[in-house]
Amino acid sequence: MFTEEHLRGLTAYLLETAADLDKASKKEPPSTPLPIADSILIIHRRLPVRAILAPELTAYKEVVRVAINNNFNCTPEEYRQLDGFVMANPTSFFFVNCNVKTPALLTLNDHPYKAVITLNPDIVVRENEVSKFYSLKRERVAFVRVKYIPDSQPVVELIQELSEARYPVVITKQRFNSKVSLSRYANLRDYQFQGNKAHLIGKALSEVQALADTTPDVYICDRRGLGCQGCGLCSKLTLGQDLKVTSLNMSSSGECKFNCVDCYAKTLQNFLRKKKIPTCVMIYDVIHQNEKQAGRTEHIKKARAALAA
């Protein structure tokens, strides 16, 4: 189960964290390295299990975004379940998806997982939520997700502030389900309905693209419309490699408790319920590629065809 690379990383981790072991056990730190079996047991029971995998040594084959259709709530149950997935999948790099409003968000500081933080889940920028984000250890942040709407100076200033602080920022162009919700936050002239969603167009689209082009460390999610593998930001910004991107929705997380504006996941879940397809509302505890990650959606097929023409 443990390769030579894993064990080398494990030994190094133990030597570096002797003080932590001492604090946890209230005993004097060992003067010589512990036997490997004892070391594994201590880390498994007391320290982040992710350390076993020695990220600088492991040859990863994929990155797994945890809670792509729900929210990682940072509960003990979720951390335990995620530890189990990490142990069972040593060539997969896991990172979690969190709403900044998650009550236990700051417990990320006590665990080894990187996180993507949505900083304005309700579109509106709130100073208390931004301040909360800055209490996270920098090394725990994979990148920051910001929902963008045109003509919102607070959103633009937030993106620029994060850039100046050298946080990677991924802009999500906010889409709307109806003219009613759209009109609450933006101007109808800046959007066009394609299928059942209103998408940013025209001058407003050019402005957000210019913002990303002229601001360091700022990117746009799936800018070319080619899906996750054509974008790669989840892998590149999290691990520094361009690997296969997959999903995991854990049963310990359950359905998302938040009600963000025209959330895609919530919209899909409600649609499936109306169609009486309860088994398809959420796929739990399976690492897989969703339609966008696999490149099977119609908008991705059209974008590929346009490039090929």
Listed residue (56, 130, 141, 62) closest to 96, CA to CA: 141
pLDDT value of residue 277: 64
132, with CB counted inside 10 A (0-12, 13-18, 19+), is middle
pLDDT value of residue 39: 36
Angle (CA) 308 303 200, round 5°: 145
Instruction: Measure the CA–CA gap between 95 and 106, rounded to whole angstroms.
Output: 15
Q: In terms of DSSP H, where are the helices of 33-101?
A: 36-46, 76-88
Residue pair 216/163 in contact (Cβ under 8 Å)? The answer is yes
Listed residue (250, 251, 255) closest to 70, CA to CA: 255
59's tokens: 């040859």
pLDDT value of residue 273: 73
Listed residue (94, 92, 97) closest to 82, CA to CA: 94
Q: Over the chain (309 residues), what is each successive 10-residue block's mean pLDDT?
A: 44 44 42 37 38 60 96 98 97 98 98 98 98 98 98 98 98 96 97 94 98 98 92 96 97 94 83 66 89 86 85
pLDDT value of residue 35: 39
Quickly count: other Cβ atoms within 10 Å of residue 259's Cβ: 9
Domain residue ranges in the chain: 4-51, 60-308
Residue pair 105/87 in contact (Cβ under 8 Å)? The answer is no
pLDDT value of residue 37: 36
Instruction: Identify the DSSP state of 190.
Output: G
Is the full-model pTM beyond 0.85? no
pLDDT value of residue 83: 97
